[in-house]
């Protein structure tokens, strides 16, 4: 049974059920009112600005039912009813994370052990079954990647994958790009050599947050796809040597790409990017696109390069990788801010044809949230 209390100055409401409690400031409660005068009934957007809330807002009184609390504010004489489960879900009165590089609980780091339970789904099933689509998108949100099997073997079929959750992000490479490889090629542009695990396009700002790779032909031996959890690699570096983690997250690397006279892309961002409160939010790692590092102080440069080398060694460790083969009609979606991808070398004879494109993670997460919405509403 929930109970409540109001501070003597009317600035704080406290809710408790005997096992948990949370405090809420009066101005926060007023700003987060859900009445029709404060929020649009259609889309939930605020209809008022903070300047419209009096600076001397206080809680005059409060009454409770089993799952709601009704608050009267002064000096507006406004009465607002709040859903207690919503307040507890959005409470901010909790211990702050003390670990640099923390992640939300729904983000799960992984290593090669994930290969035994590869996140994947069937194309036709997720296309027609909202629950299957929700589960597949949740796997991408949780692990940073997932396969999709049984798709059509047709030019630009990858656009149908993007249509499941969002929109293509067009770049100077176009709406999509071709990845053609020949074993024993006549032109070295179509080499079958392996690639080191990397994130794509670190020279862009913002970086493409989702990449889709779709297989249309795979007749050569080898050429397996490989993914590495950049978050898990960064956490392993932090646990081994906090100083290494610190320099790679404190100082910016530089990345650049100039494909022709019309393209000159440059960024400066840390290889390990943290939010101001220490949350691990992005990895940028691509030796082919690295520019001269100039933002590290002289007395830290040796440590920086030692940390850079060690992060690369962790990424290259077979214990960190998950490997799978893409056959025609199969694809995978990868969170390009987190998961590094690579390709094993080829042998023998044959061809490999993939198509790729970029999309945005906010669209994927939006689709996942809307698929979750009916369940959330039913629980209220």
**Is the same domain home to 59 and 187?**
no
Q: Which pLDDT value is given to residue 278? A: 95
**Is the same domain home to 63 and 118?**
no
Q: Is 265 exposed, middle or buried (0-12, 13-18, 19+ CB in 10 A)?
A: middle
Q: Which pLDDT value is given to residue 170? A: 95
Q: Which pLDDT value is given to residue 196? A: 81
What residues make up the domain containing 204?
Answer: 112-371
Classify residue 231: in a domain, yes or no: yes
Classify residue 210: in a domain, yes or no: yes
| pLDDT confidence band for 39 (50 / 70 / 90) | very high
**Is the same domain home to 118 and 75?**
no
**Is the same domain home to 43 and 141?**
no
Q: Which pLDDT value is given to residue 375? A: 53
Torsion of CA 147, 153, 154, 156, to 10 degrees: 10
Q: Is residue 188's pLDDT more than 50? A: no
Structural domains of the chain, count: 2
| CATH label of the domain that carries residue 30 | 3.30.2020.30
Helix spans in 96-227 (H): 123-128, 130-143, 158-163
Query: Among 146, 123, 134, which Cα is nearest to 324's?
Result: 146
Structure-block tokens of residue 322: 């998950």
Classify residue 102: in a domain, yes or no: no
**How much is the mean pLDDT over the chain?**
92
**Is the same domain home to 199 and 320?**
yes
Classify residue 82: in a domain, yes or no: yes
Helix spans in the chain (H): 26-31, 84-89, 123-128, 130-143, 158-163, 230-240, 242-250, 298-316, 361-379
Classify residue 105: in a domain, yes or no: no
Query: How open is the CA angle 71-75-78, to the nearest 5 degrees?
Result: 40
Classify residue 229: in a domain, yes or no: yes
Classify residue 99: in a domain, yes or no: no
Q: Is residue 98's pLDDT more than 80? A: no
Q: Which pLDDT value is given to residue 299? A: 97
| CATH label of the domain that carries residue 168 | 3.60.130.10
**Is the same domain home to 186 and 235?**
yes
Q: Quick: pLDDT tens for 111-146.
A: 999 999 999 999 999 999 999 999 999 999 999 999
**Is the same domain home to 260 and 199?**
yes
Q: Quick: pLDDT tens for 301-311.
A: 999 999 999 99
**Is the same domain home to 60 and 142?**
no
Query: Among 149, 143, 75, which Cα is nearest to 114's?
Result: 143
Cα-trace Rg, the chain: 25
Helix axes of 130-143 and 361-379: crossing angle, nearest 10 degrees: 120
**Is the same domain home to 65 and 135?**
no
Q: Quick: pLDDT tens for 146-185.
A: 999 999 999 999 999 999 999 999 999 999 999 887 655 5
Share of the chain above pLDDT 70, in %: 94
Q: Which pLDDT value is given to residue 246? A: 98
**Is the same domain home to 182 and 286?**
yes
Helix (H) / strand (E) containing 4: strand 3-6
Which has more confidence, 372 or 236?
236
How far apart are alpha carbons 179 and 217 in whole angstroms? 10
What end-to-end distance do the CA atoms of the chain give, in Å?
A: 17
Classify residue 374 as left (phi > 0), alpha (psi -120 to 50) or beta.
alpha
Give the global pTM: 0.90
Share of the chain above pLDDT 90, in %: 82
The answer to which of 187-201, 213-227, 308-322 has the lowest mean pLDDT is 187-201
Residue that is last in its domain, among 26, 54, 89: 89
| pLDDT confidence band for 189 (50 / 70 / 90) | very low
Q: Quick: pLDDT tens for 314-372.
A: 999 999 999 999 999 999 999 999 999 998 777 667 788 899 999 999 999 999 999 98
**Is the same domain home to 157 and 248?**
yes
Are 94 and 22 in contact, with CB atoms under 8 Å apart? Answer: yes
Classify residue 70: in a domain, yes or no: yes
**Is the same domain home to 65 and 128?**
no
């Amino acid at each position: 049974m929930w109970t409540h209390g109001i501070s003597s100055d009317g600035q704080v409401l406290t809710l408790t059920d005997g096992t948990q409690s949370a405090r809420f400031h009066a101005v926060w409660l007023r700003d987060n009112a859900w009445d029709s005068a404060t929020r649009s009934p259609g889309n939930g957007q605020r209809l008022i600005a903070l300047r419209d809330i009096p600076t001397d807002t206080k809680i005059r009184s409060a009454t409770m039912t089993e799952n709601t609390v009704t608050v009267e504010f002064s000096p507006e004489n406004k009465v607002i009813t709040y859903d207690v489960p919503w307040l507890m879900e959005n409470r901010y009165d909790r211990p702050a994370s003390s670990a640099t590089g923390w992640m939300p609980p729904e983000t799960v780091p992984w290593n090669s052990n994930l290969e035994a339970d590869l996140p994947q789904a069937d194309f036709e099933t997720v296309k027609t079954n909202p629950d299957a689509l929700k589960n597949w998108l949740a796997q991408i949100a949780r692990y940073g990647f997932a396969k999709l099997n049984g798709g059509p073997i047709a030019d630009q079929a990858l656009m149908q994958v993007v249509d499941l959750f969002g929109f293509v992000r067009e770049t100077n490479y176009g709406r999509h790009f071709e990845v053609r490889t020949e074993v024993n090629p006549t032109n070295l542009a179509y080499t079958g050599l392996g690639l080191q695990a990397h994130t794509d396009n670190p020279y862009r700002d913002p970086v493409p947050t989702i990449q889709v790779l779709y297989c249309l032909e795979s007749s050569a031996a080898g050429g397996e796809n490989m993914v590495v959890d950049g978050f898990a690699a960064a956490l392993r570096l932090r646990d081994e040597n906090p100083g290494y983690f610190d320099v790679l997250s404190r100082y910016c690397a530089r990345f650049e790409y100039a494909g022709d006279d019309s393209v000159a892309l440059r960024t400066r961002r840390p290889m390990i990017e943290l939010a101001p409160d220490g949350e691990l939010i992005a990895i940028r790692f691509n030796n082919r696109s690295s520019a001269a590092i100039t933002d590290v102080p002289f007395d830290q440069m040796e440590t920086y390069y030692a940390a850079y080398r060690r992060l690369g060694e962790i990424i290259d460790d077979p214990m960190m990788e998950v490997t799978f083969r893409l056959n025609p009609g199969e694809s995978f979606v990868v969170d390009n801010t987190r998961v590094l991808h690579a390709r094993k070398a080829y042998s023998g004879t044959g061809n490999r044809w993939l198509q790729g494109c970029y999309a945005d993670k906010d669209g994927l997460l939006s689709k996942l949230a809307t698929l979750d919405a009916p369940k959330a509403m039913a629980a209220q």
